[in-house]
Amino acid sequence: RLESQGPLDAPLTLLTAAQAAAGEQQAMFWIGLFFGVIVIMLLYNGVILLMVRDRAYAYYLAYVFSFAALQGLLFGLGFRYLWPQSVTLNNTLTMLAPAIVFATAIVFVIRFVDLRTHGTRLEIFSARLLLAACGGLLVSALTLPYAFTLNGYKIMMLLSVIMGFYLGVKYWRKGLKSARI
């Protein structure tokens, strides 16, 4: 019997031990490749940060690192290698990490398009509201049922992507070079 308040990935396949080991090895190769790319991105942007001393790159590094941490949690790497005896810690971190990813992404976009200088009052208010929602999601991840927080993350993802896309297109059309990126 399987039960979950949220998404559940439970593929049922009969495999030999050799097939299971080969599948595990292939999965670990792709996970290793993913994290290799993440490390390269962190190093590259870290060097750029040291050269140009623009806080936007620090926020981007925080975003990439938090995204990588979330993926590591979702891949089960933390539970497998760092805290195999603590299901509670793993579940708690898995619910906290998305709020941190959203917050770092929002702060990065605010800084990268220099929203405080170029943004309208509504855009600045909306960005601050999204950041406040990240704080609310952190609290809800610790206090409310999993399904409620998961639905909050879905809404947050939709609103954050729409806001980021809107700001990027708007300020790109206005000629702001950083918005093209």
Mean pLDDT of the chain: 92
pLDDT digits (tens, 9 = 90+) for 38-85: 999 999 999 999 999 999 999 999 999 999 999 999 999 999 999 999
Residue 11 confidence (pLDDT) above 90 = no
Rg value, the chain, Cα: 19
pLDDT digits (tens, 9 = 90+) for 115-145: 999 899 999 999 999 999 999 999 999 999 8
Other beta carbons within 10 angstroms of residue 2's beta carbon come to 6
| pLDDT band with cut points at 50, 70 and 90 for residue 180 | confident
pTM of the predicted model as reported, rounded to 2 decimal places: 0.86
Residues 82 and 94: beta-carbon distance below 8 Å: no
CA 70/CA 105 separation, integer angstroms: 13
Q: Which residue has the higher pLDDT, 33 or 178?
A: 33
